[in-house]
Structure formats: C-alpha cells, structure tokens
C-alpha cells in the first residue's frame, strides 16, 4: 500500500481511487508515506483529511460508556463477597490473621477485579474456567507454603504471585483475547488510571472516616472499631472495584488523568534522577556496599520504568514530535544508567556474599527492566529519526510484558521449591 500511495502521490484522482478501494489499509499506511515523501500540497491535504477522520472516529469511540444499575449492583456484590472472604479470621478464630492476610488479601482483591472483567467483557466459559482455576490453585499454593520463621522465599512468593494474577486479569480485561497487542496497551492505560482513581477514592474515604469519627465523638460515641471493621474494611477492599467501574463503565475516556500526570512528572523525574546520580558521585556514596542505596535504586528504577511506559502508552502516533519525546528519551537513558549501577552492585553482592533467593529475584528483575528499557530507547530514537514506526515502539512495550509474568512465577514457585522454602 505504501508503494501504491507513493506512485499515486501526484494524482488526486488516483489517490482517491486507492483510498476508496481499501480505506483502512490506506489510512494505516499513509502516515509513513507522509513522513518519508517530499512535501506537496496534495499530500498535506490528505494528511489533514485523515487526521480529521481519525479525530472524528475517536470522538465517537470515547463517548460515555453505556452502564446501568446492574453494573452497580454487580460491583457491590463483588465487594461484599471479597470483603467477607477477607474477614474470615474474624469469623474463624483458629485462623492466624497475620498469616491469612499476607497470603490471601492481595489475591482476593485481584480476583474480584478479574471477576468484574470476566462478566462485563462476556468471556467464554473456557476462559472463565482457566482463570478461576489458576487463582484457586495459586491461593492453595500460597496457603500451603510452610510458615517458616524469617523465610525469604515465602515472602517472595507472597509478593510475586499476586503480580502474576494481575497479569491474568489482563486476559479477562481483553475478553480472553490474550494475543491482542493493541488491547494490551489499553490494559496498560487502564492500570495508570486505576492507580490514580483508587488513590483518590482512598484519600476521600480517609477524609470521610476522620470527619465521621470527629462528629460521633462530639456526641460521646466511640465508633472507631465498629466503623473500621465494617465500612472501613469493605471500603478498602472495594476501592479498586469502584475505580474500575468508574473507568470502564461511567467515565470512559472523557477524563484521562494519567497522560496529564505523565507529562507533568516526566521532566520532574528526569531532574530528580539526574541530580541524584550527580550527588551520589560527588558524595562518593556506593550502592555496592550500602544495601539501603541499592533498595532505593531499585525502587527508583521501577517507578521510572512505569512512568516511561505510561507516558509512551498515552502518546498518540499521529502527534508531532516534540519536547516531551526528548524528555522521555533522556529519562530512559538516565534510568538505564541507574539500572547498570544497580546490576553491578547486585553482581558484586552475589560474588562477595553468595547467592540468596532475594538477590536472584532482584537480579532477574533488573535484567528484565534493563532489556525492556534498552529496547524502548532504541525504538524511540528510531521513531524520532523516522527510521521506524511508533507502532514498533508500542509492540515492543506490550510484547515484553509476559517476560515479567514468567519471572514472577519463577520467583514465586520455582525458587521456593528449589530452596525448600527457606
């Protein structure tokens, strides 16, 4: 199609005929031709026409999603079921609450969100059965891990298996179409909005709780314990579900906060990360021997990786290249430098102090993040130099996601078994 458009680029009649013969293929191929071909009034006119058609289509697609009272009732039912399951230690005194919550609470909330998408997306019975079985088996595994005191692998399993479950939630989000690449990018966007809306709901709930306590204290009633065990408990469990309902069924794409925050925080994180590296060098602080520095490095790496991915996921491929693109590239480059230092520090600790499950888990995560960021950097530069398409950058981001899931399963299941849950 690109070749045909180039051949017809001097003829308004031929371009129109080509467009009418295959509108979708023409619209997808034209942006590449427009970037590479010599400027001409005819191509400029087609560029504006297709951009207008795309904007009109997006306006139609971003209308408020349809919803009804059933959506609210269904969400409330899921909150009640998940919240009641999370209260089992209160109903069964024999259950150790610390043991139960560490191994069940995150997965319970994730399973409720997964159930929401399984029903709302109309997933097949096969998809529902596979995902439900996976969660049930995962919960059994977590609860059968021996409660060894100071067990590193038990903690790793409790931290990493919920991440794998959240990846399975992405399959439910896609309606069972796990190989849908564009759908994976939509799931990334949903994650960004979910973090923001859940935070807003939690903050609002905390304000409501404080006001409620103050008002009832004025009339001499102490309701703190009863309130937290009922409203506070179910509210905490239900916050992600309410946020999901808002994002997918009520607000839709009318209010997208994540891209605004990404544009705001990308330059700020670039300045902060650069200043941190320079200050560390000036102060001669080494992450090779200081464990707290290494922890800070890895925390910074995860935050910046997420910020880069969210920022890129919200960038429209039709937008002109601008300062934010170069800030993204700079932030990825600085983060790669941070990751290299972290990798060197981890390898130093492995060779000096020996292998432990924690060090192996952190090493694998850092290698994956480095490879992911390096691929993003290469494709982003190619996109800005017009030697590659923006779709190639998006595909690299979403196709790499299963690697994180596989590593999470290895850390959660393989490492504990090999080390005998020590």
Q: Where are the domains of the chain?
A: 2-61, 69-251, 257-418
pLDDT of res. 285? 65
91-100: long-range contacts, CB 8 A cutoff, minimum separation 24 = 96/147, 99/147
- pLDDT per residue as tens digits for the range 108-130: 999 999 999 999 888 889 999 99
58 pLDDT above the threshold of 60: no
Confirm if 312 and 328 have CB atoms less than 8 A apart: yes
- pLDDT per residue as tens digits for the range 246-280: 888 777 655 677 767 777 888 888 888 888 778 87
- Taking the C-alpha atoms of residue 287 and residue 294, their distance in angstroms, rounded to an integer, is 5
- Taking the C-alpha atoms of residue 349 and residue 353, their distance in angstroms, rounded to an integer, is 5
406 pLDDT above the threshold of 70: yes
- pLDDT per residue as tens digits for the range 67-91: 678 888 999 999 999 999 999 988 8
C-alpha distances in Å from residue 245, one per residue of 180, 194, 242, 251: 22, 10, 5, 9
pLDDT of res. 29? 84
Confirm if 7 and 15 have CB atoms less than 8 A apart: no
Q: What is the mean pLDDT of residues 182-194?
A: 85
63 pLDDT above the threshold of 70: no
C-alpha distances in Å from residue 369, one per residue of 113, 185, 300, 373: 26, 18, 12, 6
Q: Name the least confident of 51-60, 161-170, 284-293, 392-401.
A: 51-60
296 pLDDT above the threshold of 80: no
- pLDDT per residue as tens digits for the range 362-402: 889 889 988 998 999 999 999 888 888 888 888 888 888 89
| % of the chain at pLDDT higher than 90 | 29
Confirm if 116 and 74 have CB atoms less than 8 A apart: yes
Confirm if 17 and 42 have CB atoms less than 8 A apart: no
Q: What is the mean pLDDT of residues 311-321?
A: 68
Name the band, by pLDDT with cuts 50, 70 and 90, for residue 320: low
Confirm if 376 and 393 have CB atoms less than 8 A apart: yes
- pLDDT per residue as tens digits for the range 42-52: 888 888 788 76
Average pLDDT over the chain, rounded to an integer: 84
Name the band, by pLDDT with cuts 50, 70 and 90, for residue 403: very high
Name the band, by pLDDT with cuts 50, 70 and 90, for residue 59: very low
Q: Which residues, 6+ apart, have CB-to-CB distance to 220 below 8 Å?
A: none
56 pLDDT above the threshold of 50: no
- pLDDT per residue as tens digits for the range 192-233: 889 889 999 999 999 999 999 999 999 988 898 889 888 999
Q: pTM of the entire structure?
A: 0.77
Q: What is the mean pLDDT of residues 315-322?
A: 66
pLDDT of res. 62? 42
Name the band, by pLDDT with cuts 50, 70 and 90, for residue 55: very low
**What are the backbone angles phi and psi of residue 52, rounded to the nearest 5°?**
-65, -45
Which candidate, 250, 252, 235, places its Cα nearest to that of 198?
A: 235
pLDDT of res. 57? 45
Q: What is the mean pLDDT of residues 169-173?
A: 93
Confirm if 349 and 359 have CB atoms less than 8 A apart: yes
Q: Is 418 helix (H, G, I), strand (E, B) or coil?
A: helix
Enter the DSSP assignment of 1. -
pLDDT of res. 198? 94
420 pLDDT above the threshold of 70: yes
Which candidate, 266, 385, 249, 245, places its Cα nearest to that of 327?
A: 266
């Amino acid at each position: 199609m690109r070749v045909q458009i180039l051949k017809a680029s001097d003829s308004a009649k031929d371009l129109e005929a080509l467009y009418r013969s295959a509108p979708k293929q023409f619209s997808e191929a034209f942006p590449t031709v427009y970037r590479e071909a010599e400027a001409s009034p005819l191509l400029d006119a087609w560029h504006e026409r297709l951009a207008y058609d795309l904007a009109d289509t997006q306006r139609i697609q971003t209308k408020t999603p349809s919803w009804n009272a059933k959506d609210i009732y269904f969400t409330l039912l899921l909150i009640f079921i998940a919240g009641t399951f999370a209260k089992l230690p209160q109903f069964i005194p024999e259950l150790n609450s610390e043991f139960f919550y560490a191994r069940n609470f995150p997965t319970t909330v994730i399973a409720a969100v997964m159930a929401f998408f399984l029903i709302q997306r109309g997933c097949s019975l096969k998809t529902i059965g596979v995902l439900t079985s996976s969660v049930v088996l995962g919960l059994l595994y977590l609860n059968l891990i021996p409660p060894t005191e100071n067990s590193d692998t038990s903690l790793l399993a409790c931290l990493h298996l919920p991440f794998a479950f959240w990846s399975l939630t992405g399959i439910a989000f896609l309606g069972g179409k796990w190989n849908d690449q564009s759908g994976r990018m939509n799931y990334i966007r949903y994650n960004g909005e979910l973090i923001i809306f859940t935070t807003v709901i939690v903050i609002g709930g905390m304000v409501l709780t404080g006001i409620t306590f103050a008002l009832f204290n004025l009339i001499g009633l102490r309701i703190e314990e009863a309130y937290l065990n009922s409203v506070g408990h179910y509210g905490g469990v239900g916050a992600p579900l309410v946020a999901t309902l808002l994002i997918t069924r009520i607000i839709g794409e009318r209010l997208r906060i994540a891209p605004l925050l990404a544009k705001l925080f990308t330059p700020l994180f670039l300045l902060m990360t650069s200043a941190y590296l320079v200050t560390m060098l000036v102060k001669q602080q080494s992450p090779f021997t200081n464990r707290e520095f290494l922890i800070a490095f890895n925390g910074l790496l995860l935050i910046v990786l997420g910020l880069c991915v969210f920022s890129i996921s919200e960038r429209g491929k039709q937008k002109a290249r601008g300062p934010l693109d170069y800030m993204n590239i700079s932030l990825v480059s600085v983060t790669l430098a941070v990751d290299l230092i972290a990798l060197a520090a981890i390898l130093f600790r492995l060779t000096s102090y020996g292998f432990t499950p924690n060090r192996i888990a952190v090493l694998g995560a850092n290698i994956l993040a480095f490879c992911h960021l390096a691929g993003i950097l290469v494709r982003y530069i190619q996109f800005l130099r017009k030697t590659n398409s923006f779709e190639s950058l998006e595909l690299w981001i979403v196709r790499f996601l299963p690697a994180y899931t596989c590593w999470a399963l290895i850390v959660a299941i393989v490492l504990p078994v090999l080390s005998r849950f020590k």
